[in-house]
């Protein structure tokens, strides 16, 4: 994977619509529960390089309170917990109980506090306003159906300190070539397996009231990926 730093200006006109997500939250929860024990075997080779770029961009520091939205098996949360140290707090939330169990195991195996992992929906976070210095979301935002993405981001913004920051790593539709269009057709037919679909990451964050601080262009297995650091306007 390679990346370059680009300007924060979005395209003047988005190049086209994004496809919908034709499955329910309950179906997603059940699917991730069922694959939680072996998720990393097939997902980590795809996600790891872009996720690492996002963690580098977020740059969590000692003493901060950080939330990993859609923490999965805990790979990123382990790194965040190490970065914030004993004086900070790293919290994970995931819709699937199985993923939460895997995350607690990952934290314990790393010699870290295993208890700050919550099973819950990222659309309605169980946290007070402004309680986090930073939020991290890697291959999560594009799992939400199109009509709710802005409300999901509004909820993430609610729990973020006004001076805090959000890093989003997501499949991008900025270069909707043959590979992307083929993947979208597969997603429409088997949304459980091809669950992440490409979205316009920067445009969506700007529409949700965030200011882009830094944007890295990445690719994984020939799929465009956006790694975006932003902050509340």
Per-position pLDDT tens, the chain of length 233? 333 334 444 444 444 578 888 788 888 899 899 999 998 988 888 889 999 999 999 999 999 999 999 999 999 999 999 999 999 999 999 999 999 999 999 999 999 987 799 999 999 999 999 999 999 999 999 999 889 999 999 999 999 999 999 999 999 987 667 677 777 776 677 666 666 788 999 999 999 999 999 999 888 777 889 999 999 99
> For helices 97-109 and 75-84, what crossing angle results, to 10°?
50
To which residue do tokens 């024990």 refer?
37
Element (DSSP H or E) covering residue 56: helix 39-58
Question: What structural domains does the chain harbor?
Answer: 20-232 (3.40.50.150)
What local confidence, expressed as pLDDT, does residue 14 receive? 42
What local confidence, expressed as pLDDT, does residue 180 receive? 73
Q: Which residues contact 32 (CB under 8 A, 6 or more apart)?
A: 39, 72, 94, 95, 96, 98, 99
């Amino acid at each position: 994977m390679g990346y370059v730093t680009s300007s924060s200006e979005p395209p003047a006109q988005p190049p086209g619509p994004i496809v919908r997500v034709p499955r329910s939250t309950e179906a997603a929860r059940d699917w991730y529960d069922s694959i939680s024990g072996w998720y990393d075997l097939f997902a980590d080779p795809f996600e790891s390089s872009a996720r690492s770029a996002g963690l580098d961009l977020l740059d969590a520091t000692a003493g901060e309170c950080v939330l990993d939205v859609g923490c999965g098996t805990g790979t990123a949360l382990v790194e965040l917990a190490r970065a914030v140290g004993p004086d900070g707090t790293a919290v994970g939330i995931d819709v699937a109980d199985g993923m939460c169990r895997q995350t607690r195991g990952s934290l314990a195996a790393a010699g870290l506090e295993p208890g700050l992992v919550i099973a819950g929906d990222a659309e309605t976070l169980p946290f007070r306003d402004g309680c986090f210095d930073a939020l991290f979301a890697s291959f999560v935002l594009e799992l939400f159906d199109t009509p709710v993405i802005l409300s999901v981001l509004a909820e993430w913004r609610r729990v973020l300190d006004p001076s805090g920051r959000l890093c989003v790593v997501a499949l991008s539709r900025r270069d909707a070539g043959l590979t992307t269009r083929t993947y979208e057709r597969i997603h429409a037919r088997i949304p459980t397996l091809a669950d992440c679909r490409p979205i316009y990451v920067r445009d969506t964050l700007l529409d949700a009231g965030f200011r882009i601080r830094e944007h890295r262009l990445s690719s994984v297995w020939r799929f465009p990926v956006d790694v975006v650091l932003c902050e509340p306007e």
